[in-house]
Structure 1
Amino acid sequence: MSQTDETCREIRMDPRDRRILLSNRSNLVSKLDPSVLYDGLLSRGIFNQDMIDEIQIAGTRRDQARRLVQDLEMRGSRAFPAFLECLLETGQGHIVQFLQNGDSPSPPVPPPVRPNVLPVPLVEPFLTDNTKGGNKPDKCDFTPLPDVTKPDPLPSPYPDISPRPRPRSDSIQNYKMDASPCGLCLIINNVDFETESKLSSRKGSDVDCDRLERRFKSLNFVVTVKKNLKQRQIKQELSRLSKEDHSKYDCCVVIILSHGTEASHSRFPGAVHGVDGPSVPIQNITNYLNGQHCPTLQSKPKLFFIQACGGGEKDTGFEVSPEEVTPQEGGVDDQTDALPVSSSSDSLSCSDEVDARATLPTPSDILVSYSTFPGYVSWRDTMTGSWYVETMDRVLEENAATNDLVTMLTLVNSEVSQISAKGLYKQMPGSFNFLRKRFFFQTPPQ
């Protein structure tokens, strides 16, 4: 860490400056253009390049402005004056003006005066009696308003409404998947963790990596494997992938095999660790490939498979009748991919706190498949690999030619849920699915 970074961490922002940022945050988010400020803040040592990268992948202009103001509050006593200088240099003096006018928010605008319009009573209810198959009006009780002259009834804007049939499953569209090769696949395999990270080596992960590399090559992907990446290197590889031209491809896949932990989020939970210890939130990982930061993947499926713990809790399951499941024993050398419970809270960064907002854009065409439920450990056999990857590989081999991805992941969930570690602990995979169509892999001719 540079001397500038140390200074910013040791000296807190002046309380008055911080109060000005907090009280004017909504104005800053709506008016600030953060894209022209990055060079100035970087040259003044307020942010380093990694921090700028994190802000830039936050999302829209408003998202980036919100993240910049949030992070600025944590960057020491020089941050606010430098911020004002950058605003003046980039032609945003109007923002400096309302920041320097005081540290209280603008007075609330009174609500508009609405005309006193009396409600019009319902003339003809548009309810239907579906139980008898017709459009017969139901009985509807209402009391006419006193001293109100009823206007002539207006024609209904909904003439002859009839129930719409529910779409059949075969009417759902499929994603285009006929390019050859069909897409790029990045596998990050973190096995050997540095001593300072206090994380153990992930024996058996190479088995998972080899298995997935073969499987996705057979599904006609161009596969790149990166091993033992530090936090910064994970971000660099994802940034490189986002800058690729995906125009000739139909899909993109990212697979991460590592230790994991819980992390605050507003879209996708969890985080994965670099071999040096610090983690990268899953939410940030998906942001690299969203439609805004990777235009050539817009409207194309982006698939993420995460073999890592979602936390430190171990699931002992609950008792069911014998006919419901066929129990399977895990290996004798099962290990978890969790951060040690004693230090899991230390890995959570203030900069990863959820930023409340009224609405949040849906990350379309993204699916994130987790090896375990958020908050719980994920089991891995040191000899045969993880339960999740081994099961997924077999399900893909047996079903990819006929079933869509969501159906196959449900099969993976079912099979993994029946395995037990040491005859006691369970695991439940799951996914966050924002795909708009069905996804079928390319498969080799039978």
Structure 2
Amino acid sequence: ALKALDFEVHVYKDLKLRDLQKEVERVAQMDHSEADCILVTILSHGELGYLYAKDCQYKLDVIWSFFTANHCPSLAGKPKLFFIQACQGDQLDGGVVLSPKDRTETDSSSSMTFKIPTHADFLIAYSTIPGFYSWRNTQKGSWFMQSLCHELTQHGRKYDILTLLTFVAQRVAYDFESNTPDIPMMHQQKQIPCVTTMLTRLLRFSDKK
């Protein structure tokens, strides 16, 4: 999905925390002047406030803090996107019956040059809300990543990222439900992603020129 949107993709598996930090720091120190944004995806185990490297747990700010405007000047003013597939706890969401709502989108723009906060232009999307379990299918993968890849593939160049993530949330919320009848407590459970955004502009993945 990302290669189709002209991203240069690099994959790292089962890194220890020290190696993960070294790799992230290396990327942050690169010259990103010709890049439009950076996107980091982490698929791991987790609990409330923590993710797991191969050898220990860590907080997400260990990763994204390398990319703040004061530490990575060539990405200052550019979107920095983080997609996190991990549990944030062990609470379960049994869901309720509800009528679907209409979707909306908004628009805004600015071309002024101005001083920006060091933490501007980040977006962090979690597969689930704080304190809750994050589900996956053993064959097809996590609900969140399935939905994210689907929306990026089908509509990645059509809608801005927040609209896409609204569609992702809708897909995860409405189209998925756990199926574990042999474990009643885990059966027919639901999930909703959670997005924190500090973006200062709309972001849409247009064709690369």
Cα pair 1:371 1:428 within 8 Å, conserved? yes
SS at match of 1:225: coil
What TM-score, normalized by structure 2, do the two folds share?
0.83
Structure 1 gaps of 5+ residues are 1-214, 264-270, 326-360
Contact 2:83–2:124 (CA<8 Å) still a contact in 1? yes
1:318 shift after superposition:
2.4
C-alpha distance after superposition, 1:267-292 (max 9, x if no partner): xxxx210122x122112221111101
Cα pair 1:259 1:308 within 8 Å, conserved: yes
Match of 1:389 in 2: 145
Q: Distance in 1 between matches of 2:13 and 2:64?
A: 20
Aligned match of 1:432: 196
Matches within 5 A, 1:145-160: none
Aligned residue in 1 for 2:109: none
Q: Tell me the distance in 2 between the aligned counterparts of 1:298 and 1:362.
A: 8
Question: Following the alignment from structure 2 to structure 1, what is the Cα–Cα distance between the partners of residues 16 and 189?
Answer: 30
Q: Does the 8 A contact of 2:21 with 2:62 survive in 1?
A: no
Q: Partner of 2:15 in structure 1?
A: 229
Matched pairs, number: 186
- What is the aligned partner in structure 2 of residue 310 from structure 1? 88
Q: Is the 8 A contact 2:2 2:152 kept in 1?
A: no
Quote the Cα distance in structure 2 between the aligned partners of 1:239 and 1:375. 29
Amino acid at match of 1:421: S
* Runs of 4+ deviating beyond 6 Å: none
Q: What amino acid maps onto 1:404 in structure 2? A: D
Mapping of 1:240-319 within 5 angstroms? 240-263=26-49, 271-276=50-55, 278-319=56-97
Report if the CA contact (8 A) 1:220-1:442 is conserved. Answer: no
Normalising by structure 1, report the TM-score. Answer: 0.40
**Structure 2 gaps, min length 5:** 102-116, 180-186
Report if aligned partners of 1:364, 1:435 keep a CA contact under 8 Å in 2. yes
Match of 1:369 in 2: 125
Instruction: For 1:420, give the aligned amino acid.
Output: E
Pick the structure with greater CA Rg.
1
- Partner-residue secondary structure (3-state), 1:438: coil
What CA distance in whole angstroms lies between the structure 1 residues aligned with 2:158 and 2:125? 20
Query: How well do the aligned residues superpose, as a CA RMSD in angstroms?
Result: 1.8
- The equivalent residue for 1:404 is 160
Q: Which residue of 2 aligns with 1:378?
A: 134
Which residue identity is paired with 1:442? S
SS at the partner of 1:378? Answer: coil
3-state DSSP class of the match of 1:287?
helix
Aligned to 1:240, the other structure's residue is in SS state helix
Question: Displacement, 1:403?
Answer: 0.6
Q: Is the 8 A contact 2:5 2:157 kept in 1?
A: no
User: 1:362, CA displacement in angstroms?
Assistant: 6.8
* CA apart distance, 1:443: 4.3
Q: For residue 427 of structure 1, what is the amino acid of its counterpart?
A: Q
SS at match of 1:416: helix
CA displacement at 1:253 relative to structure 2: 0.8
Q: Where does residue 5 of structure 2 map in the other structure? A: 219
Question: Whose RCO is larger (CA < 8 A, sep 6+)?
Answer: 2
Cα separation, 1, equivalents of 2:21 and 2:189: 33
One-letter code aligned to 2:178: A
Q: Which has the higher helix share?
A: 1
Deviations 1:193-230 (A, max 9, x none): xxxxxxxxxxxxxxxxxxxxxx1111111111001111
Percent identical among aligned pairs is 37
> Matches of 1:230 and 1:293 in 2, distance apart?
23
How many Å apart are 1:382 and its aligned residue? Answer: 1.1
Classify the secondary structure of the residue corresponding to 2:78.
coil
SS at match of 2:195: strand
Matched, 1:420 2:177: yes
Supply the AA of the counterpart residue of 2:128. T
After superposition, the C-alpha distances for 1:118-156 in whole angstroms (9 at most, x for unaligned) are xxxxxxxxxxxxxxxxxxxxxxxxxxxxxxxxxxxxxxx
SS at 1:303's partner residue?
strand
What is the identity, as a one-letter code, of the residue corresponding to 1:385? G
Structure 1 Cα separation of the partners of residues 20 and 173 of structure 2: 30
Q: Distance in 2 between matches of 1:443 and 1:376?
A: 37
Pairing 1:349-360 to 2, within 5 Å after superposition: none
What letter is aligned with 1:221?
F
Secondary structure at 2:12's aligned position in 1?
strand
| 2:8 partner SS | strand
Q: 1:443 to 1:427 in 2, by over 3 A?
A: farther
Shift of 1:238: 1.1
What is the CA distance between 1:440 and its match in structure 2? Answer: 0.6
